[in-house]
Amino acid sequence: QKEVEQDPGPLSVPEGAIVSLNCTYSNSAFQYFMWYRQYSRKGPELLMYTYSSGNKEDGRFTAQVDKSSKYISLFIRDSQPSDSATYLCATSYNFNKFYFGSGTKLNVKP
Amino acid sequence: DAGVTQSPTHLIKTRGQQVTLRCSPKSGHDTVSWYQQALGQGPQFIFQYYEEEERQRGNFPDRFSGHQFPNYSSELNVNALLLGDSALYLCASSFFGETYEQYFGPGTRLTVT
């Protein structure tokens, strides 16, 4: 079983839609949860990180962690064509070693 | 503020050869991690360097080795290249102990023929 599972998509939505991206993880010891955005032929860009359970909001982005179900979510409100990218979830328990999902490709249509 | 830089951008090597990839961390960062990202996959952790020592290692063979220099820059070396080593190699930098906030470089795309 992989440490982090992520639906590869692709996910296609119209501009202005609310997008929900999700991951599940296997190890309950994971404490830190991150979301990255990766444009084609670029390195991943850190969007948000959260510690333990709960929600964290940053502009149009909300990250949510449910440790009881080992579920990580990223919500994007008022999605824009510029949000079209691959979104990667990642997790860690010791700061030094990170486990990434395989990424979900998002396409926001104008 | 300079971000993470990597060189070269692209590289083509032949099976069995050796390759060295280079990374300069974001200004002020002291920790460098290396990742391998195969096409259509998420990054896989290779190892992390802090204070010129390998602190953590992922599930990669000894053919993959690294080094960190006193100025915090780092190199990734891969010996006896295999076709399966073809991938995007990413470097990420951070402050030690705050590696949940790591910043990635643009990567080096390695093709092994």
Write out the DSSP string of B89-107.
Answer: EEEEEE-TT-TTS-EE---
Element (H, E) at A103: none
| Interface membership of A40 toward B (CB under 8 Å) | no
pLDDT at A96: 74
The average pLDDT across B3-16 equals 97
- Inter-residue contact A84 to A72 (CB < 8 Å): no
Which of A41, A49, A88 lies at the smallest CB-CB distance from B100?
A49
Residues in A closer than 8 angstroms to B104, CB to CB, are: 36, 43-46
The average pLDDT across B88-96 equals 94
Contact A46 B107 (CB under 8 A): no
Instruction: Answer yes or no: is pLDDT of A48 > 70.
Output: yes
Which of B35, B48, B102 lies at the smallest CB-CB distance from A46?
B102
Instruction: Answer yes or no: is pLDDT of B2 > 90.
Output: no
The average pLDDT across B12-16 equals 98
| A94 vs A54: CA distance, rounded Å | 19
Instruction: Answer yes or no: is pLDDT of A21 > 70.
Output: yes
| pLDDT class of A72 with cuts at 50, 70, 90 | very high
The average pLDDT across B80-92 equals 97
The angle subtended at Cα B58 by Cα B60 and Cα B96, nearest 5°, is: 140
| A77 vs A61: CA distance, rounded Å | 7
Contact A8 B40 (CB under 8 A): yes
Instruction: Answer yes or no: is pLDDT of A95 > 90.
Output: no
Which of A42, A96, A100 lies at the smallest CB-CB distance from B42?
A100
pLDDT at B52: 95
Closest CA to A83 of A6, A23, A21: A21
Comparing A50 with B37, the larger pLDDT belongs to B37
Instruction: Answer yes or no: is pLDDT of B15 > 80.
Output: yes
| pLDDT class of A54 with cuts at 50, 70, 90 | confident
Comparing B87 with B102, the larger pLDDT belongs to B87
Which of A4, A92, A102 lies at the smallest CB-CB distance from B100?
A92
Contact B104 A43 (CB under 8 A): yes
- Inter-residue contact A95 to A32 (CB < 8 Å): yes
| A77 vs A82: CA distance, rounded Å | 13
Instruction: Answer yes or no: is pLDDT of A74 > 80.
Output: yes
In Å, how far is A93's CA from the nearest CA of chain B? 10
The average pLDDT across B70-80 equals 97
- Inter-residue contact A72 to A14 (CB < 8 Å): no
Mean of the per-residue pLDDT values of chain B: 94
| pLDDT class of B1 with cuts at 50, 70, 90 | low
Residues in A closer than 8 angstroms to B40, CB to CB, are: 8, 102-103
Contact A6 B44 (CB under 8 A): no
Interface mutation vs chain A, best among B102, B109, B110, most A CBs within 10 Å: B102
Contact A44 B90 (CB under 8 A): yes
pLDDT at B96: 86
